[in-house]
Every structure is written in structure tokens, then in C-alpha cells.
């Protein structure tokens, strides 16, 4: 028997806003766990006390951005359209049906006239991190840092070439040590100078503040970079710093690490970075601060010789290297302007029967060792240690997951605004929203009971996973490309433990 529903669009339904919003709604959890009242105090000086028209509630203005970020809506215009009909959004904003919702231009006008030159965006981000800390979700022991690119709102084909002068990044302490060592060797000191080099760069005509991003095996174009740091305990974002797309990852790292330390009183015992941060200044900072810093392996240009540098044994007491084939001692002979000690024995090497295997072009083997090579050796020891390998593994599960969540679920692939400052402001709000979701999920009963599931899948999904088990199919492999691998894997291991 076919059932045909009659038109009910004109029927009157007697329900409250509370009845319309599901009990397990993410927005209910956020409203329960997050205290938004601090925003009123933060914006108090930006509003006139006794003049002008009544304003829209400032908490509502920022909640609009949080809704847009939380559900990955592409524009504020589309967000405001959805708010008109979505009961969950209206409940979160405190706007019942029958009342007008804000116009999409309201936020942009408030930004231009009120918020643009303020620090309200950073204050919101910092306060949400502090709330996460109050819930015990910030461990302050392990920090993981990386950068990801956001496509700028600019056509990559519309640009002009510009010549910029790049000042030489001098290392005064190292230069002084080099000249002191050369004086000890009886060699002429180097005359270092502040030289400037010219560099051709592409500048977008649409968004000049973006930078041209070009890296191996990655898409090229005008981008912004988000240099992000997360805490290892619950993946709470503790810093998000926006730069142009042509800024190297390692350049702002130490400054941002000091910012985190000063802002949140975080003194990490360990940090994990990828190979892009393989920098002597960073390694030295880790040593000075007593931080167990792990930096990924970076493959520099390797020679085509059969006998590699690592096969030569270094004798610390003699400050010399020993050939692995003949036992020839390569003595310390020179120091380059970049701080590399040079070891060679031209006379002995010329008579060596393995010369063709050891040298392809030169007539003797030359080994280079940095003046502070012990810093590199300690960094290598940390990287290869069991603790270092575990930390590197955890880096992939924290910061990489944070970026994946941002791009797949929160519309972070594209920059919706132009200009460095605007993108920085939006990034703070987007990361604050991501932290709110993290707080709401990980302080819920499901997380506290030990499950990694971030939401309730429902009975049908549980029965589906059970059927996968009885058919001897691991749902981990079924869902690994859909962002559910961890959850499904946990459910699978739970099912196989059932007698």
C-alpha cells in the first residue's frame, strides 16, 4: 500500500528551540564547555558607551565565524543564509525563529570600522587555549610544529617580476669564532661584510602580500603559510602564525617558540619537527634550553663515491679522520669561511689503490666537519634514539592530523581574505574554533571513558562494523582514506576482543 504524504508546510508546530536541537549536537557541547563571556570584556573599549545605535551582540558576531569554520562553509554570505533556516545554528546564536538574523555584511563592516586594528582576535585564540588548559588538555611537555600552505585569493598567472635586495644573514658569533680559529692555524682572517644580493621574485597583482610558493612535488602558486604548533597531549593548537608563501619554515620558528613560552608559560621538554627545520640555530637553541628536540632526516647532496663520509672514523683526541680502507689519517688542514673544518692528506691519497672508489674528480679525498659538529651529532643521536623515533611518529599523528582536520573539515585550503593581517586574524579565529571542537569532544563522556571515537555513530554503524568483523574484513582498511581509520580500527580491535 502506497502512502502519500500531504502538504504540511503551513501547519503550526509547537516546539521550543531546545526541542529542535539534538541532545548530542556538537554545538550543545561547545556551548556547555566554552565560556564566551570573556569576549564582552575584551571588546568593551571598542564600543561607545552612550552614543550610537544598539549594536549586534559581539559574541554573536564571532560565533558566526565559528559556525562557518566548524562546518567548513565557504563564505559568510552562505553562512548567514543557512542560519535563517537551521535550528541548531539559531540555538547556538541565541536567535529564535521569528527574529531576523544578521546580514552577511555585518561582520565585514564591524571588522573594518571596529576590530581591524585591535588585538581581539589574538585574545580570543589565547583565551580558548587557556580554557583548554583549565580542562587539563594542554600537557605543556611536547610541542609539534610544521607549516602548511593556503591558496591565496589570487590568480597565479597574474603577476609581475620584481627585484628585491636580500641582506646577507650574518652570524656574528660564528664569524668571530672562525677568524679566531684561523688565527690559531696561522692563516689569514676573513673580511666579512654586509653584502646584499638581488633576487627576482613574482609578485601577485591581485594580492601583493601573498608569496609565490614553489616546492618539489607540490602545487605552485601564490600562497600563505600557516606555521602551526600543537600540544602533544590533546592536539590543542597553541600557535598559528601566518607568513607569505615564500618564507622558509625554519625562519620564524624560534621567535614563535619564545612567543608560546611567554604567552602560555609553556616550557616544553621535547619538540618534534620535520626535515625543513634542520638548522644549526634551532639545534643550538634546543641544547641551550635543555629541550629534547627531534628534527627529521634531511638528505643533502650525496657524492657518487662508493666510500661515504660516515664510513670514515673520527678521532676526537687527534682531531682527524681515518680512512676505512687503508687507515690513512686525514689531518685537519684548513677552515672555510662558512665554518667548516677541512681534513685531507693529498700525498697519501695520491698513492691509494682505492682512489677511484673514493674520489671521482679530485686527486685526494677531503672531509668537511662543521666547527660545531657536536651539535649535529647530538641532534642525530636524539633522532635515532627510541624516544626520538616515538616522538617523530607522534608528530605525524598530531600536527599532520591538525592540518588534515583544518583542510578537510574546516575550509582551510583557501584563503578567503586578501592581505597578511586579515589572514592572520581569520587564522586565529579558525584555530580557536578547531580548539573548541577539540575541547567539546575530548571532555565528553565518550572520550573520558577511553574511547577514541569523537562522536556517536549510531546503532546501524555499530552493526555494520560487526558485520565487517564476522566477514573477516578489517574496517580500518575500508575507511583509511575517509578520515575514519583510527576510529574504525579501534572498533575493530574492540570487536575481536569479544569472546
> Contact 192/175 with Cβ under 8 angstroms?
yes
Express each pLDDT in 318-339 by its tens digit.
Answer: 899 999 988 889 999 999 998 9
Express each pLDDT in 267-316 by its tens digit.
Answer: 999 999 999 899 899 999 999 999 999 999 877 766 667 888 888 999 98
Residues 6+ away with beta carbon under 8 Å from 200: 161, 162, 163
> Is a pLDDT exceeding 60 seen at residue 467?
no
Bin 230: left if φ > 0, else alpha if -120 < ψ < 50, else beta.
beta
Nine-digit cell at 380?
642525530
Cα 301 to its chain centre, rounded Å, is 27
Q: Per mean pLDDT, which range of 176-190, 238-252, 411-425, 445-459 is the poorest? A: 445-459
Q: Per mean pLDDT, which range of 137-151, 207-221, 242-256 is the poorest? A: 207-221
> Quick one: what percent of the chain has pLDDT higher than 90?
49
Q: What's residue 450's pLDDT?
A: 43
> Is a pLDDT exceeding 70 seen at residue 496?
no
> Which 3 state secondary structure label does DSSP give 335?
strand
Q: What's residue 350's pLDDT?
A: 84
> Is a pLDDT exceeding 80 seen at residue 494?
no
Q: What's residue 479's pLDDT?
A: 42
- pTM for this prediction: 0.82
> Is a pLDDT exceeding 50 seen at residue 459?
no
Separation of alpha carbons 64 and 184, rounded Å: 66
Mean pLDDT for the chain?
A: 84
> Is a pLDDT exceeding 80 seen at residue 465?
no
> Is a pLDDT exceeding 60 seen at residue 87?
yes
Q: What's residue 304's pLDDT?
A: 65
Evaluate the CA torsion angle 271, 273, 277, 283 in order and state its sign: positive
> Is a pLDDT exceeding 50 seen at residue 162?
yes
pLDDT band at 473 (very low <50, low <70, confident <90, very high): very low
Q: What's residue 303's pLDDT?
A: 64
> Contact 399/232 with Cβ under 8 angstroms?
no
Q: What's residue 16's pLDDT?
A: 81
Residue written as grid cell 680559529: 181
Exposed e or buried b per residue across 172-198, where buried means at least 16 C-beta atoms within 10 angstroms of its C-beta = eebbeebbeebeeeeeeeeebeeeeee
Check residues 9 and 204 and name the one with the higher pLDDT. 204
Q: Domain residues of the chain, as ranges? A: 17-118, 309-364, 457-496
Express each pLDDT in 224-267 by its tens digit.
Answer: 999 999 999 999 999 999 999 999 999 999 999 999 999 999 99
Express each pLDDT in 414-433 by its tens digit.
Answer: 998 999 999 999 999 999 99
For range 379-387, the mean pLDDT: 93
| In 152-305, beta strands by DSSP E | 159-167, 196-204, 211-213, 221-231, 237-244, 270-273, 292-295
Identify any residues that bridge with 225 across adjacent strands, giving them in sequence order.
149, 243
Separation of alpha carbons 260 and 255, rounded Å: 9
Amino acid at each position: 500500500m502506497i502512502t502519500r504524504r500531504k502538504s504540511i508546510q503551513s501547519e503550526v508546530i509547537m516546539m521550543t528551540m531546545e526541542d529542535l536541537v539534538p541532545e548530542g549536537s556538537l554545538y550543545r557541547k561547545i556551548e556547555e564547555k566554552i565560556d564566551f563571556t570573556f569576549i564582552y570584556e575584551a571588546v568593551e573599549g571598542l564600543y561607545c558607551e552612550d552614543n550610537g545605535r544598539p549594536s549586534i551582540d559581539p559574541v554573536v558576531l564571532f560565533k558566526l565565524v565559528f559556525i562557518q569554520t566548524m562546518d567548513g562553509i565557504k563564505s559568510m554570505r552562505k553562512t548567514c543564509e543557512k542560519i535563517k533556516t537551521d535550528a541548531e545554528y539559531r540555538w547556538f546564536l541565541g536567535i529564535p525563529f521569528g527574529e531576523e538574523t544578521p546580514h552577511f555584511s555585518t561582520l565585514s563592516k564591524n571588522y573594518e570600522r571596529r576590530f581591524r586594528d585591535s588585538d581581539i582576535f589574538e585574545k580570543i585564540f589565547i583565551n580558548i587555549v587557556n580554557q583548554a588548559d583549565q580542562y587539563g588538555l594542554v600537557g605543556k611537555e611536547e610541542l609539534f610544529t610544521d607549516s602548511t600552505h593556503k591558496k591565496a585569493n589570487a590568480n597565479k598567472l597574474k603577476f609581475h617580476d620584481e627585484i628585491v635586495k636580500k641582506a646577507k644573514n650574518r652570524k656574528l658569533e660564528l664569524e668571530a669564532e672562525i677568524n679566531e680559529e684561523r688565527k690559531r692555524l696561522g692563516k689569514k682572517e676573513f673580511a666579512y661584510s654586509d653584502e646584499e644580493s638581488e633576487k627576482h621574485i613574482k609578485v601577485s597583482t591581485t594580492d601583493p602580500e601573498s608569496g609565490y610558493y614553489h616546492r618539489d612535488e607540490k602545487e605552485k602558486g601564490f600562497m600563505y603559510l600557516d606555521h602551526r604548533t600543537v600540544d602533544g597531549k590533546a592536539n590543542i593548537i597553541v600557535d598559528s602564525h601566518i607568513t607569505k608563501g615564500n618564507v622558509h619554515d625554519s625562519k620564524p620558528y624560534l621567535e614563535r617558540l619564545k612567543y608560546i613560552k611567554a604567552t602560555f608559560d609553556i616550557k616544553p621538554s621535547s619538540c618534534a619537527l620535520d626535515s625543513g627545520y634542520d638548522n644549526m640555530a634551532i639545534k643550538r637553541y634546543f641544547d641551550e634550553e635543555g629541550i629534547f628536540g627531534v628534527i627529521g632526516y634531511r638528505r643533502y647532496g650525496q657524492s657518487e663515491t662508493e666510500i661515504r663520509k660516515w664510513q670514515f672514523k673520527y678521532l676526537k683526541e687527534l682531531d682527524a679522520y681515518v680512512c676505512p680502507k687503508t687507515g690513512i689519517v686525514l689531518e685537519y688542514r684548513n677552515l672555510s669561511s662558512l665554518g667548516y673544518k677541512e681534513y685531507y692528506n693529498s700525498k697519501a691519497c695520491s698513492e691509494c689503490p682505492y682512489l677511484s672508489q673514493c674520489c671521482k674528480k679530485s686527486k685526494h679525498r677531503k672531509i668537511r666537519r662543521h666547527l660545531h659538529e657536536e651539535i649535529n651529532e647530538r641532534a642525530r643521536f636524539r633522532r635515532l634514539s627510541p624516544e626520538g623515533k616515538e616522538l617523530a611518529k607522534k608528530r605525524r599523528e598530531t600536527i599532520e592530523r591538525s592540518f588534515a582536520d583544518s583542510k578537510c573539515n574546516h575550509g582551510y585550503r583557501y584563503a578567503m581574505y586578501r592581505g597578511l593581517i586579515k589572514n592572520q586574524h581569520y587564522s586565529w579565529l579558525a584555530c580557536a574554533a578547531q580548539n573548541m571542537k577539540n575541547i567539546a569532544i575530548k571532555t565528553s563522556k565518550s572520550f573520558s571513558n577511553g574511547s577514541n571515537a569523537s562522536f556517536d555513530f549510531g546503532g546501524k554503524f555499530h552493526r555494520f562494523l560487526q558485520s565487517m568483523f564476522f566477514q573477516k574484513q578489517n574496517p580500518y582498511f575500508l575507511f583509511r582514506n575517509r578520515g575514519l581509520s583510527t576510529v574504525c580500527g579501534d572498533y575493530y580491535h574492540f570487536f575481536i576482543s569479544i569472546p
